[in-house]
Amino acid sequence: MSGEERRQEIINYISSSKTPASGTALAQLYHVSRQVIVQDIALLRAEGYEILSTNRGYFLNMPRTVNRVFYVCHEDSRIQEELNLIVDCGGKVLDVFIRHEVYGELRADLSVDSRKKADAFLKNLQGGTCSPLKNITSGYHYHTVSAESEEVLDSIEEELKEKGFLIKEEKEVR
């Protein structure tokens, strides 16, 4: 068994276990030293898995997530459609940001992972005297999106492309 296969097995094991898995037990299970298990855990953490250590062993606090930045452009009237598309595909819109030649990068946290949160965000935007950050750059903006897998992000990217949101190459529109 390769190291990569072993690490995947470790994730499968600790994610399905109802109790923490000790390093010694994992070492015996995969026929390696406890130090190899410690190194595997460090590599898995570096990949984005939130593995917690207790005096009784390791456990996975939450599923691994992956992020991707999407470069998009649209009118204000399509904000809700864009957010709903992303969350309906299984994504979480972490933020919105623009790159401006004078102000640099301007970013705002969103944390939109449901239609309800998308609705609330839009109501806040419509209820105030401010306009969306994207309007500073003629509608061009970025979203950092989080999902449980690359496949989910690929699906989001395909939907954004199909609906005309996705920009292929960064344009210098400021």
Q: How far apart are CA 105 and CA 111, in angstroms?
A: 19
State the DSSP H helix or E strand holding residue 51, giving kind and residue range, or none if neither: strand 50-54
Among 10-14, 44-48, 126-130, the minimum mean pLDDT is found in: 126-130
Q: Mean pLDDT across the stretch 95-119?
A: 94
Cα four-point dihedral sign 111, 159, 126, 117:
negative
- The total number of residues written for the chain in this structure: 174
Whether residue 134 has pLDDT greater than 80 = yes
Domain ranges of the chain: 3-62, 66-162
Whether residue 115 has pLDDT greater than 90 = yes
Give me the pLDDT at residue 172, please: 43
Give the Cβ contact number of residue 79 at 10 Å: 18
What's the CATH class of domain 66-162?
A: alpha beta
- Tell me whether the CATH fold assigned to 3-62 matches the one assigned to 66-162: no
User: Taking a C-beta distance cutoff of 8 angstroms, is the pair 136, 96 a contact?
Assistant: no
Q: Please provide the CATH number assigned to the domain covering 3-62.
A: 1.10.10.10
Q: Mean pLDDT across the stretch 11-38?
A: 92
